[in-house]
Structure 1
Amino acid sequence: MDLITIGESMVLFTPHTSGPLRFTNTFHKTIGGAESNVAIALSRLGHQTGWISHLGDDEFGLYVRNYIRGEGVDTSAVRFDKHFPTSVFFKEINPGQDPKIYYYRKGSAASQMTPENVDENYLSKAKFIHLTGITPAISESCRRTIYKVIDIAKENKQTVVFDPNIRLKLWSKEEATVVLGDIARRCDIVLPGLEEGTLLTGEKSTGEIASSLLQGDTKVVVVKRGEAGAYFATKDDSAYITGEKVSKVMDTAGAGDGFAAGFLSGLIRGRGYREAVELGNQVGAHALTVTGDVEGYPYWSQIAPDTKEILR
């Protein structure tokens, strides 16, 4: 397996009209979750991926599992909990702006994940382990679970990828800075956005952010800069890679996860960091053209229509 990720996915309700939700009467139902976004995007690019989580033993839980499994992601490590529900969230559309998000996830099934739930044998099957800063913010037991996953991955000499994905609605800025900074130092690849990098390091420029995060076990840092592209840095190399032009942005949700998937696809294919970042920019740009978290992620045939490369 190429990559395994762990985290909470929720049922997402997107309104059919823009403006305040109090005036909205109809919604489109789909799913959202940074970790499953990456797994789905990589699956569409031809890779074998797995997703670990807990879901409520309810209709929404079945919907989330079936949706993700239907995208070719292995869900055999997903557990259903009869005592806690599947989370839901709502998106408020404001044209020309990032959407407002309203979460209903406190006390969810995913928040009950514990280190004891981690199947070490299953986790050992992947080349890459993908984590985000959302999971440790959900609950104290989830935080311990993430540290357990990192320890197992290190023992197995797997590459650990960390996207801070900071959600200050889930915890304080001070706590996030301390915990996520510590996790970042334990991971091989760190993928912050520009604002996230500033929060974690106190630095404002992409170069200074990357230099500050290149410590501990971290071998490469990629700072995502939205439409401006991305900046990558190792101890020996660094470069700005310009972004892809998008004529009309429909929804920014999921673009960062798409970038992560494209970047990791490049690494899995044996490409260097520059080419991997370029691929990340391409996949992230595709995500911007469609409303929804995962709906815009491309298949490999859309990225490289003339290639004969087959991974499966």
Structure 2
Amino acid sequence: MTSFDVVTFGEPMTLFLAAGDVPLISADNFEVEVAGAESNLATGLARLGHRVSFFGRVGADTFGMRIRNELRAEGIDVGQLVDDPELPTGLLIRDNPSGRPITVEYRRSGTAAAAMSPESLPTAMITDTRLLHVTGITAALSESSLAATERAMIIAAEAGVTVSLDPNIRLRLADPDRWQVIIKQLAQHAKIIFTGRDEAEVISPGVDPVTWYGDHGAEIVIVKDGGNGSSEHQLGTGRTVHGGVRPVPLVDPIGAGDGFNAGWISSWLDGAGELTEADAERRLLTAATVASMVVSARGDRTGLPTRAMLDQVLASGADVIR
């Protein structure tokens, strides 16, 4: 029996979300939240009742303290979230206006998270979990973060821990050529891959992502394709299962991919971990349902459901719970 179901790590940031539908350039009121792909996933899994640990680095500042408190309040273990006395916590500032693209600004250069190194990894924690989830974002922060990410994956894999990877490409962090190097370096250590259809073209232009990741050692590749749904490709069985979307009013698209990953992993942890068609369908349905609940609410984590809420939606699809 492991201490955790999922361990993940990365850069948690303080999010300043422009209030209402006001574009960022005109905003003078902001809602303050926690953001970051890995912390979003950790929150989603914790709300679904899983034992989750999150490690990384934040500044020894007010923003870092707020992040620590909010993650702990979600039931996430943050015992290995380090306070850096010299480097600051990363910030993310964005809007969510109606009828125009979302503007996102980062303040993450030279932050505490970028100072992560292989020597600082909590090895005992990484080997004491059922699954280690990583993203390319953390690896793209710095050379030491890349080395730490790869080392964590190796430690987990050698201990028999399942490793999942979402490239989660951010072109403001690195150009396409650099992303290709990063993901090629990481992919060989992951058995489960989550990738968007569009970002796959950045990593393996002209090459089917299922083939590309399969050649690098993946056993399951999940391809997310927006309104077209998703598909799970099992390299060992040759089985491909398609999943649809749950139509909902789009309020805020940010965080949908993290919610999808949380739903899929939760279903996998709950017992739908076999390579049957029924299990794959259950994983994709759960993932799509969680993602739909995320995009129906403002903010990166606001719409992530509790276990009771998710079960009610999956069981009945009811619009009103009385």
TM over 0.5: yes
CA drift at 1:138? 0.6
Task: Tell me which residue corresponds to 1:219.
Answer: 219
Judge conservation of contact 2:233–2:240 (CA < 8 Å) in 1. yes
Q: Are residues 1:264 and 2:271 paired?
A: no
User: Cα gap change, 1:240/1:203 in structure 2, threshold over 3 Å: closer, same or farther?
Assistant: farther
Offset from partner CA, 1:89-131 (integer Å, 9 cap, x none): 1012232455221000101011111100001111111100000
Task: Tell me which residue corresponds to 1:148.
Answer: 151
Counterpart code for 1:53 = G
Q: Are residues 1:305 and 2:312 paired?
A: yes
CA drift at 1:305? 3.1
Over the aligned positions, Cα root-mean-square deviation in angstroms equals 1.6
User: Cα gap change, 1:259/1:121 in structure 2, threshold over 3 Å: closer, same or farther?
Assistant: same
Secondary structure of 2:31's counterpart equals strand
Offset from partner CA, 1:195-253 (integer Å, 9 cap, x none): 1111111137xxx322222123210000111232101101221022111111x111001
Counterpart code for 1:2 = D
Q: Distance in 2 between matches of 1:215 and 1:94?
A: 41
The one of 71, 76, 79 equivalent to 1:73 is 76
Secondary structure of 2:286's counterpart equals helix
Q: Distance in 2 between matches of 1:97 and 1:115?
A: 41
CA drift at 1:273? 2.2
**Structure 1: runs of 5+ lacking an equivalent:** 308-312
Q: Are residues 1:288 and 2:295 paired?
A: yes
The one of 55, 60, 81 equivalent to 2:58 is 55
Task: Tell me which residue corresponds to 1:249.
Answer: 250
Q: Distance in 2 between matches of 1:256 and 1:218?
A: 19
Q: Are residues 1:192 and 2:199 paired?
A: no
User: Cα gap change, 1:249/1:42 in structure 2, threshold over 3 Å: closer, same or farther?
Assistant: same
Judge conservation of contact 2:294–2:304 (CA < 8 Å) in 1. yes
Q: Distance in 2 between matches of 1:43 and 1:191?
A: 20
The one of 92, 103, 120 equivalent to 2:95 is 92
Offset from partner CA, 1:49-93 (integer Å, 9 cap, x none): 010110100111000111111111110111001100011110122
Task: Tell me which residue corresponds to 2:139.
Answer: 136
Secondary structure of 2:241's counterpart equals strand
Offset from partner CA, 1:146-190 (integer Å, 9 cap, x none): 011011011111110000100110111101012113312321111
The one of 283, 294, 306 equivalent to 1:276 is 283
Secondary structure of 1:305's counterpart equals helix
Q: Distance in 2 between matches of 1:149 and 1:241?
A: 31
* Identical-residue share of aligned pairs (%): 30
Q: Distance in 2 between matches of 1:224 and 1:98?
A: 21
Task: Tell me which residue corresponds to 1:310.
Answer: none
User: Cα gap change, 1:97/1:38 in structure 2, threshold over 3 Å: closer, same or farther?
Assistant: farther
Judge conservation of contact 2:139–2:146 (CA < 8 Å) in 1. yes
Counterpart code for 1:220 = I
Judge conservation of contact 1:11–1:89 (CA < 8 Å) in 2. yes
Judge conservation of contact 1:12–1:29 (CA < 8 Å) in 2. yes
Q: Are residues 1:229 and 2:229 paired?
A: yes
Q: Distance in 2 between matches of 1:287 and 1:261?
A: 11
Judge conservation of contact 2:6–2:52 (CA < 8 Å) in 1. yes
The one of 33, 37, 40 equivalent to 1:37 is 40
Judge conservation of contact 1:98–1:251 (CA < 8 Å) in 2. no
Judge conservation of contact 1:197–1:203 (CA < 8 Å) in 2. no
Judge conservation of contact 2:57–2:112 (CA < 8 Å) in 1. yes
Q: Distance in 2 between matches of 1:257 and 1:306?
A: 19
